């Protein structure tokens, strides 16, 4: 409908589902009839997204990749299978779950046994025998289905990104691998030297050689053929199911639990002009605006992967996405470069550690006072509130964990 | 006799439908409202410290985000045509498509003498949780500061001013529901700061089966002038819990908007 671009409920999940229900049988017919007429027709079951109150109704699910239970099941296996690296030697296993650990809020965590201080690095290469460090810290993978503002710390992955990818592959309806979709992050991880340091063809060949996957690809996509397009789609489907909404504060909003006096004081502080967390970390109950801010951490900017690198707007120098605070209790280290190890350090920073630069976001209105100047009691209350944002169900939900029969190639 | 009755009924029916036809001949047209933001008569320039307000503050604008609602055309007989079933439109200077609202509903052709709208959202509509999707949801006015009828900012005008003429300092010129404090941190009531504006139109018509464009202009400098000279050095960078500041802004809003259209 004209003029209704921003609250158009016509794009809500119900419509997406209707589209799914209409499109799926057609797709099934095409996939089962045109690719291999000798195979039995397969039935795919559309995945039904449950609406979450106070969460966005607009879902970021590309038309090219409708979600099905079969696709999600395949994606879950691939997510945890270390052979996604294209190699099966125990020292060369890597998959999404290597750095996105369920029990750690789908991040690395500060006390990871291998990645010191929570800073991951890629598989060894001749140039980087110890593995190259990632340019930024990992970001959590939950609630990505609600994010249409771009993925990664700088929003580089966005449908409007027309940067040339790798030609020669059919991918999401394009004839090259591109940087537009959540799906794009899969092939990018495979080839990035600070991640799998592998190749697309090697990974496709490896996955295609594993008998277990043949019926799963057929169930998900209509034939056993393995392509980077299908691998990416399946993993993206699984990741889109990772929804974090069962945290204490959300239950408080639903009138299911009470907050303690300290948590309540912290809640009021969080949503006050004094502490002013909410302008960047609220809106919906995602606990982020998914927008990008220079939050007054630095006066010198040398990172080539900030928001400026995406928009070329000078005022976006040193700006990064405000991450969701859901599970902030456990998914440190904090900030894009992991400079803060604890929540206390983060609170101290916003209280008295801000530094002015010409690029600071105007929402950092206390920057000239170096922060919001919280008392020790206020800091404790604010922290108590932040701890109500932990979704323990997400961390232990078996549907999001590794398949029990994935075997020795499961990454940990 | 029966035949005459039938003939009479047919004639009456024809007369009635004939009247309907003449109504329909007036037809319906479309309206597009464009939104502009100006300072001192020119298109607002962003991220440049080039403006001076009535209080003598040098300032720059980073972004303006605001809601307009209850947009209504008033016809010559004082009839009101509320556009798009009470649609609440979000305007964001950084989101180009939001600066153009193509009214979805057809509008009865004819001459209209005024356009009336609410700056912000009236309390009974401004309920928490009204918006769940971006970017509107990012306009949240937190419950502790707004209560049941203060769910969203009316406007965020973000920028910087030269504090005490020497220090570039951020300001959040944010307006929404104000609070009444009995004592510090003890809110005893709320103040609705939305306001209605009516702008006269002269010779403005909606033409049958045609699309008309109208431009609504926010003249930013007027937020700071009449009847209250607004001084950033006095109110500082944050005013969401400062009803004195927001009340003045609300009153200053009376002459902030103007309208332009073809044939004016």
Q: Are residues A331 and A225 in the same domain?
A: no
Q: What is the mean pLDDT of residues B66-74?
A: 97
Least confident stretch, A24-38, A367-381, B33-47, B86-100 = A24-38
| pLDDT at residue B263, as a whole number | 67
| pLDDT at residue A324, as a whole number | 96
Query: Which two tokens mark B237?
Result: 């960078």
Q: What is the mean pLDDT of residues B173-183?
A: 93
* Nearest in space to B122 (alpha carbons), one of B177, B175, B172: B177
Nearest CA in chain A to B34: A3
Q: Which of A60, A273, A274, A308 to mutate to test the interface with B (most CBs of B within 10 A)?
A: A273
- Tell me whether residue A258 is in a domain: yes
Q: Are residues B84 and A54, on separate chains, in Cβ contact within 8 Å?
A: no
Delimit the domains of chain B by residue range.
27-261
CATH number for the domain harbouring residue A287: 1.10.760.10
Q: Are residues A158 and A290 in the same domain?
A: no
Kindly provide the residue ranges of all beta strands, DSSP E only, lying in A131-261, ordered along the sequence: 166-171, 174-177
Q: Are residues B168 and A362, on separate chains, in Cβ contact within 8 Å?
A: no
Residue A346 near residue A340 (C-beta atoms within 8 A):
yes
The answer to whether residue B35 scores a pLDDT higher than 50 is yes
Query: Which two tokens mark B192?
Result: 């609705």
ipTM comes to 0.89
Tell which wins on pLDDT, A304 or B8: A304
Element (H, E) at B8: helix B2-26
Tell me the chain B residues in contact with residue A1 when contact means C-beta distances shorter than 8 Å: 104
The answer to whether residue B250 scores a pLDDT higher than 50 is yes
* Nearest in space to A275 (alpha carbons), one of A372, A360, A381, A379: A372
Helix axes A213-221, A228-240, angle to 10 degrees: 80
Chain B segment 195-234 residues within 8 A of A by beta carbon are none
Q: Are residues A51 and A100 in the same domain?
A: yes
* Full domain range(s) for residue A384: 248-390
Domain end among A222, A244, A266:
A244
| Count of A-B CB contacts under 8 Å | 107
- Tell me whether residue A396 is in a domain: no
Q: Are residues A265 and A231 in the same domain?
A: no
| pLDDT at residue A244, as a whole number | 97
The answer to whether residue A198 scores a pLDDT higher than 70 is yes
Q: Are residues A27 and A173 in the same domain?
A: yes
Distance from chain centroid for Cα A18: 26
Q: Are residues A109 and A175 in the same domain?
A: yes
Q: Nearest CA of chain A to the CA of B99: how many Å? A: 10
| pLDDT at residue B25, as a whole number | 57
Nearest CA in chain B to A358: B168
Please calculate the CA angle A98-A99-A100 and round it to the nearest 5 degrees: 100
Tell me the three state secondary structure of residue B184: coil
Q: Are residues A136 and A161 in the same domain?
A: yes
Length of chain B: 264
The pLDDT-based confidence of A406 (bands split at 50, 70, 90) is: confident
Tell me the chain B residues in contact with residue A291 when contact means C-beta distances shorter than 8 Å: 138
Q: Are residues A274 and A125 in the same domain?
A: no
Nearest CA in chain B to A149: B134
pLDDT digit string, tens, across residues A220-256: 999 999 999 999 999 999 999 999 999 999 999 999 9
Query: Which two tokens mark A56?
Result: 């966005």
pLDDT digit string, tens, across residues A339-374: 999 999 999 999 999 999 999 999 999 999 999 999
- Tell me whether residue A408 is in a domain: no
pLDDT digit string, tens, across residues B123-163: 999 999 999 999 999 999 999 999 999 999 999 999 999 99
Chain A CB within 8 Å of residue B49 CB: no
Q: Are residues B172 and A362, on separate chains, in Cβ contact within 8 Å?
A: yes
| pLDDT at residue A23, as a whole number | 42
pLDDT digit string, tens, across residues B209-243: 999 999 999 999 999 999 999 999 999 999 999 99
| pLDDT at residue A25, as a whole number | 42
Q: Are residues A48 and A174 in the same domain?
A: yes
- Tell me whether residue A4 is in a domain: no
Q: Are residues A291 and A372 in the same domain?
A: yes
Q: Are residues A217 and A266 in the same domain?
A: no
Number of compact structural domains in chain A = 2
Q: Are residues A328 and A368 in the same domain?
A: yes
Domain end among A244, A274, A291:
A244
């Amino acid at each position: 409908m004209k003029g209704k671009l921003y609250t158009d409920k016509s794009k809500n999940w119900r419509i997406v589902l209707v589209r799914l229900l209409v499109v799926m049988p057609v797709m099934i017919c095409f996939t089962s009839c045109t690719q291999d007429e000798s195979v039995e027709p397969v039935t795919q079951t559309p995945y039904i997204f449950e609406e979450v109150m106070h969460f966005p109704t607009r879902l970021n699910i590309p038309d090219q990749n409708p979600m099905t239970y079969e696709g999600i099941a395949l994606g879950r296996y691939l997510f945890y299978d270390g052979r996604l690296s294209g190699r099966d030697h125990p020292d060369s296993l890597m998959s999404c779950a290597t750095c996105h650990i369920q029990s750690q809020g789908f991040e690395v965590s500060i006390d990871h046994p291998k990645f010191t201080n929570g800073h991951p690095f890629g598989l060894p290469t001749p140039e980087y025998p110890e593995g190259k460090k990632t340019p930024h810290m990992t970001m959590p993978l939950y609630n990505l289905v609600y994010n249409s503002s771009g993925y990664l710390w700088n929003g580089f992955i966005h449908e409007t990104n027309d940067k040339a990818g790798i030609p020669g592959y059919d991918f999401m309806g394009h004839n090259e691998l591109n940087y537009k979709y959540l799906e794009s992050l899969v092939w990018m991880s495979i080839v990035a030297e600070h991640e799998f340091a592998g190749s697309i063809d090697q990974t496709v060949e490896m996955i295609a050689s594993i008998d277990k996957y043949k019926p799963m690809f057929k169930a998900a996509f209509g034939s056993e053929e393995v392509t980077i397009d299908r691998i990416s789609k399946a993993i993206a489907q699984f990741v889109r199911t990772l929804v974090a909404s069962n945290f204490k504060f959300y239950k408080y909003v639903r009138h299911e639990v009470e907050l303690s006096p300290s948590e309540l004081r912290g809640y009021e502080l969080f949503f006050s002009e004094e502490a002013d967390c909410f302008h960047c970390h609220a809106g919906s109950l995602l606990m982020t605006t998914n927008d990008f801010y220079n939050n007054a951490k630095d006066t010198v900017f040398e990172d080539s992967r900030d928001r400026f690198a995406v928009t070329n707007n000078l005022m976006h120098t040193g700006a990064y996405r405000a991450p969701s605070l859901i599970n902030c209790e456990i998914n440190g280290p904090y900030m894009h470069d992991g400079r803060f190890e604890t929540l206390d350090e983060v609170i101290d920073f916003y209280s008295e550690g801000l530094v002015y630069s010409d690029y600071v976001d105007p929402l950092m209105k206390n920057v000239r006072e170096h922060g919001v100047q919280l008392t020790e009691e206020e800091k404790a209350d604010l922290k108590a509130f932040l701890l109500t944002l932990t979704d323990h169900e997400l961390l232990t939900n078996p549907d999001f964990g590794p398949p029990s029969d994935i075997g020795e190639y499961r990454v940990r | 006799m029966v035949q005459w009755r039938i003939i009479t009924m047919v004639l009456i029916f024809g007369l009635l439908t004939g009247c309907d036809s003449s109504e329909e001949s007036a037809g319906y047209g479309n309206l597009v409202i464009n939104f502009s933001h100006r300072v001192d008569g020119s298109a607002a320039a962003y991220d440049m410290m080039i403006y001076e307000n009535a209080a003598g503050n040098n300032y720059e604008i980073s972004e303006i985000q605001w809601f307009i609602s209850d947009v209504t055309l008033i016809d010559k007989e004082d009839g009101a045509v509320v556009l798009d079933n009470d649609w609440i439109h979000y305007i964001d200077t950084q989101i180009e498509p939001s600066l153009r609202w193509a009214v979805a509903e057809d509008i009865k052709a004819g001459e209209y003498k005024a356009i009336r709208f609410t700056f912000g959202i009236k309390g009974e509509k401004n309920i928490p949780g009204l918006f769940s999707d971006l970017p509107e949801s990012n306009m949240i006015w937190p419950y502790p500061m707004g209560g049941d009828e203060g769910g969203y900012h009316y406007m965020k005008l973000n920028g910087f001013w030269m504090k005490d003429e020497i220090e570039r300092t951020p300001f959040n010129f944010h307006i929404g529901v104000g609070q009444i404090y009995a004592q510090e941190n003890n809110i005893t009531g709320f103040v609705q700061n939305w306001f209605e504006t009516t702008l006269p139109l002269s010779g403005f018509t909606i033409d049958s089966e045609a699309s008309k464009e109208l431009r609504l202009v926010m003249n930013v400098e007027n937020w700071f002038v009449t009847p209250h000279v607004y001084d950033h050095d006095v109110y500082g960078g944050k005013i969401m819990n400062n009803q004195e500041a927001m009340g003045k802004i609300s009153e200053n809003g009376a002459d902030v908007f103007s309208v332009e259209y073809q044939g004016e």
